[in-house]
Amino acid sequence: MTIVIILAAVISVVLAVLLWVASVALHVEEDPRLQGIVDLLPNQNCGLCGNPGCKAMAQAILDEDSKLSQCKPGTADMREDIKEYLESFDNDKHDVEAIKVKM
């Protein structure tokens, strides 16, 4: 019985270490502006903008592939808020390139 408990503990530690190594090796750096844009979008995840959801739309805005007006549930205030957010973001501090916001 003791052998089984020790074996289970060893296997648990080995698996925990493997998960930690995988999380470090597979970590993807996210644009620091992404979540800020997502927070300002309607978050209905309706896909009407042509993207599979609001987070994908936020990435498309950062990639300059989508216009803010593509978000059909979005309001003029929302578009202005996102534009203002991106224009006031400290790009140098976060080492990201400024983008041209497409309205």
Vertex 39 angle, CA 38 and 40, to 5° = 90
Vertex 53 angle, CA 92 and 61, to 5° = 30
CB nearer to ligand SF4: give 62 or 71.
71
Q: Least distance to ligand SF4 from the beta carbon of 20, Å?
A: 34
Q: Which parts of this chain interact with ligand SF4 (CB under 6 A)?
A: 41-42, 44-49, 51, 53-54, 57, 71-74
Q: Least distance to ligand SF4 from the beta carbon of 61, Å?
A: 9
CB nearer to ligand SF4: give 35 or 44.
44
Please choose, from the candidates 43, 44, 42, 32, the residue with its C-alpha nearest in 3D space to the C-alpha of residue 79.
42
